[in-house]
Amino acid sequence: EPEVTQTPSHQVTQMGQEVILRCVPISNHLYFYWYRQILGQKVEFLVSFYNNEISEKSEIFDDQFSVERPDGSNFTLKIRSTKLEDSAMYFCASSAFETQYFGPGTRLLVL
Amino acid sequence: ILNVEQSPQSLHVQEGDSTNFTCSFPSSNFYALHWYRWETAKSPEALFVMTLNGDEKKKGRISATLNTKEGYSYLYIKGSQPEDSATYLCAFNVQSSNDYKLSFGAGTTVTVRA
């Protein structure tokens, strides 16, 4: 059964460093999403991507964040200058319609 | 920000017992209500997506109902087994022409004791 994959599973970085989180969505899906969950809080929406452009972004998704679909299969989330409060589990999801399929997440720890 | 609330936050169930828990969501601009099952270190797994008032969905021993007029959904687990231990997330779509982004509740963590 097709699944969404994410790499790395864990990443530790220093504050101010750039990180790139990678996702391979399900191949025939058209909608792509990033969510995150800060420990002890709800899963929250970051950004959605459709037709090679951002379709919606949350208030969290400021200029430090960017997304890209560089090669037709990968979907990446870049954080340019990480802050302590960016520490969270980051989930990628993809969908053909309303049902979203999630990857296992990348746990990011910013020190 | 759409407020999706789940209750209770956690519950402990004896193996073989049945249980249920709730999700409440804004009833305006409703599009769909989703239930996910999430085990630690795994991907959240889609259980149900429901769109119509009065919808009932079933998957094995797990079922869900939907009331869009009053803005709530119940998830039921019949005859709980240890493998049902997980966090159950509900999530809500609004009508949007852009995409299907989800607003999540905080989850109900179910622990089934053998």
* pLDDT tens-digit readout, B42-100: 999 999 999 999 999 999 999 999 999 999 999 999 999 999 999 999 999 876 656 78
| A4 Cβ under 8 Å from any chain B Cβ | yes
Pairing state between β B30-38 and B45-50: antiparallel
Q: Nearest 5°: CA angle at B64, between B42 and A42?
A: 45
Subunit contact A42:B49, Cβ cutoff 8 A: no
Chain B partners within 8 Å of A104 (Cβ): 41-43
| A85 Cβ under 8 Å from any chain B Cβ | no
**Amino acid, single-letter form, for residue A53:** E
Mean pLDDT, rounded, for A77-97: 96
A-B contacts (CB, under 8 Å): 62
Residue in B with minimal Cα distance to A105: B43
pLDDT for residue B95: 67
| A106 Cβ under 8 Å from any chain B Cβ | no
| B26 Cβ under 8 Å from any chain A Cβ | no
Tokens of A65: 């964040």
Pairing state between β A106-110 and A10-13: parallel
Cis-peptide, bond into residue A8, ω within 30° of zero? yes
Nearest to B44 among A44, A45, A102 (CB): A102
Subunit contact A98:B32, Cβ cutoff 8 A: yes
* B3-9: long-range pairs with CB below 8 Å, 24+: B3/B103, B4/A42, B4/B90, B4/B91, B4/B92, B4/B103, B4/B104, B4/B105, B5/B105, B5/B106, B6/B88, B6/B89, B6/B90, B6/B105, B6/B106, B6/B107, B6/B108, B7/B108, B8/B108, B9/B106, B9/B107, B9/B108, B9/B109
| B24 Cβ under 8 Å from any chain A Cβ | no
Q: Give the total residue count for chain A.
A: 111
* pLDDT tens-digit readout, A21-70: 999 999 989 999 999 999 999 999 999 999 889 999 999 999 999 999 98
| A105 Cβ under 8 Å from any chain B Cβ | yes
Q: How many CB atoms lie within 10 A of CB A85?
A: 10
Subunit contact B46:A101, Cβ cutoff 8 A: yes
Q: Nearest 5°: CA angle at B37, between B31 and B43?
A: 100
Tokens of A102: 């999630």
